[in-house]
Amino acid sequence: MQYSTRFVDATVEPLVCDRDPNGSIDPFPFVDPGSGRIYLLWKAEGLPGVAPQRLMARELTANGLDFVAGSAARELLRPTRPWEDGVVENPAMVTYRGVHYLFYSGNDWNSAAYAEGVAVCRTPLGPCTKQDPGPLMGSSGDRLGRAGGSPFIGSAGNLRLAYHYWQAPHASYERGGHRRLGVATVHVGPGGRLSVTG
């Protein structure tokens, strides 16, 4: 079978672009395994002093090319914790053991303070509740600013999280830092609390 490597964008406007001047970034498609419905998650950049950053979701049509008629964007999260420092981004959702987990990043991506948070969502459109006052995962050892997580179910059926980090001692491109990739195992503990190793 031969595949074409050519992509032609035939759209005349963005699928979504929030109305504030900073627009939208970090799209993440999610297929609900229970219903088969498709959702688009993204970050609304917000406007400092006017509108907070927000993580949003909206249902897509079956072909994933448009939003379902009559649907509306729903807010999933906004920054509320000190460790986030006014930033929530990189939404990524997975369903594990019947629970919708929303992983997200907070703080400045270009620093060792960048970290990964998690929330539990009743549905792919919310409401979502953040797990802890602190992040699920942050700097550890020579891995600084661990975040930008992408959850997946591993071959053994366990919940895993691929992420990126700065290789110590630098935590910024400006200071000569280099990004690396890591994978953590996510554990579900008593009361549904998550923790990571790796």
Q: 90, 26 in Cβ contact below 8 A?
A: yes
DSSP structure string for 118-130:
EEEESSTT--EEE
3-state secondary structure of 88: strand
Residue in 136, 83, 141, 145 with CA at minimum distance from that of residue 109? 145
Average pLDDT over residues 157-172: 95
The pLDDT, as a whole number, for residue 2 is 65
* Residue 127: cis peptide before it, omega within 30 degrees of 0: yes
Q: Where are the domains of the chain?
A: 24-197
Q: 30, 39 in Cβ contact below 8 A?
A: yes
DSSP letter assigned to residue 61 = P
The pLDDT, as a whole number, for residue 61 is 96
Average pLDDT over residues 54-80: 96
For 24-197, CATH number? 2.115.10.20
Report residue 74's pLDDT band, with 50, 70 and 90 as the boundaries. Answer: very high
pTM for this structure? 0.92
Report residue 110's pLDDT band, with 50, 70 and 90 as the boundaries. Answer: very high
